[in-house]
Amino acid sequence: MRVALVMGTSAGGTGRHVHDLASGLVGSGHDVVVLAPAGELDQFAFGATGAGTVELTVSDRPHPTRDARALATLRDVLRGADVVHAHGARVGALSAVAVLGSRTPLVVTLHNASPGRGVAGRIHAVLERVVARGSDLVLGVSADIVDVQRGLGASRAELAVIAAPPPAPATRDRFAVRQSLGIGSRTMLLVTVARLAPQKDLDLLVDAVAEMLGRHDIDVLAAVAGDGPDRDRLQQRIDAAGVPVRLLGHRTDVADLIAAADAVVSTARWEGQPVGLQEALHAGAAIVATDAGGTGAVVGDAAILVPVGDVASMARALADVLLHGAVRDDLRSRAISRGGELPTSADALDAALTAYESVL
């Protein structure tokens, strides 16, 4: 079977998933070509999987000239495929136009929900409609994406199977990590792994820590590993509130931080299948998270889930975990069990092959 995998720009998760699929498909004897921007072809080393590669001139925003070139490339390459699997709304919509009038089946995996209001939200809504009407099968990383596609008239919309990242071992013990952060062994440590962007709603973390400390005397540091466009604004909020929240910037020792944490926290407004929480499950961490997007489906009963944007509920949950060792121990036990149930690369490959066979 000749499979064309199409993707646009990716900061990590989508690219890793497409790389896993390309490697697995080639290893199973299929002929694979990956179409992606030049930067992603290099970053994820698709050529090393044995797949063919074709540069696709798309960026993270619409551009008439580049998109026209990308569409011409897609039409040329996809006509030789038995099945096309596009990843993302933009390249999914372009692929739907490219295969229009042909018999080549199209599967599209949507890795993100709508960014909300504004120009970006309106553009995404148009792309979602094109994907719904032009695809033989739409796979969504969370149930809300699947529901939207069904509401838009998709002939078939189902949950995607995305492999969890393999567990990364910690290289330092919790005492060494705490020493590097300048805190003592008795200071409670909250760890959040997130891009500093509106989707992650780190204002909720700042507000919840402030409310928790207004009610309880807890020696705590909330450390955020990640960088992004909201860094300066968030730092100003932290300074103004005087709360023990520290922005660590980009880190290469995330596994160490998670292993040293008393609790791992996610305050996101929306998530698909959050990688940071999957890493926390593998590490057996106590997790507190907002019930956003696909988060609940990933963590199961191995986390305390609170409503999105609810400061009071997040503050209560954090206090419960930090003040009660029995709660932490129970969550850690549940996390280890849940981590063993997360899908593997083999599971994702089997699901993809089943999807392809269903549309051929």
pLDDT tens track for 192-238:
999 999 999 999 999 999 999 999 999 999 999 999 999 999 999 99
Comparing CA positions, the residue from 271, 276, 250, 261 lying closest to residue 331 is 261
Backbone phi, psi, residue 220, to 5°: -145, 150
Backbone phi, psi, residue 263, to 5°: -155, 145
Comparing CA positions, the residue from 132, 123, 131 lying closest to residue 152 is 132
Alpha helices in the chain (DSSP H): 13-27, 38-43, 64-78, 89-98, 118-134, 143-151, 174-181, 202-215, 231-241, 254-260, 275-283, 295-299, 311-323, 325-339, 345-359
The secondary structure element, H or E, covering residue 286 is none
What class does CATH assign to 174-339? alpha beta
Q: Are strands 263-266 and 188-193 parallel, antiparallel or unpaired?
A: parallel
Is pLDDT of 117 > 80? Answer: no
DSSP, res 99: T
pLDDT tens digits, residue range 231-265? Answer: 999 999 999 999 999 999 999 999 999 999 999 99
Confidence of residue 177 (pLDDT cuts 50, 70, 90): very high
What is the CATH code of the structural domain delimited by 2-163+344-359? 3.40.50.2000
Ramachandran bin of 116, using left for φ above 0, alpha for ψ from -120 to 50, beta for the remaining angles: left
Residue type, position 23, single letter: S
Is pLDDT of 21 > 80? Answer: yes
pLDDT tens digits, residue range 53-79? Answer: 999 999 877 778 888 999 999 999 998
Mean pLDDT of the chain: 94
pLDDT score recorded for residue 119: 80
Residue pair 146/158 in contact by the 8 Å Cβ criterion: yes
pLDDT tens digits, residue range 283-327? Answer: 999 999 999 999 999 999 999 999 999 999 999 999 999 999 999
Is pLDDT of 113 > 90? Answer: no
Question: Measured on CA atoms in the order 196, 199, 202, 203, is the torsion positive or negative?
Answer: positive
| Residue 102 token pair | 């042909």
Q: How crowded is residue 120: how many other Cβ atoms within 10 Å of its Cβ?
A: 13
| Domain boundaries of the chain, sorted by first residue | 2-163+344-359, 174-339
pLDDT tens digits, residue range 132-176? Answer: 999 999 999 999 999 999 999 999 999 999 998 888 889 999 999
Confidence of residue 97 (pLDDT cuts 50, 70, 90): very high
* Fold match between domain 2-163+344-359 and domain 174-339: yes
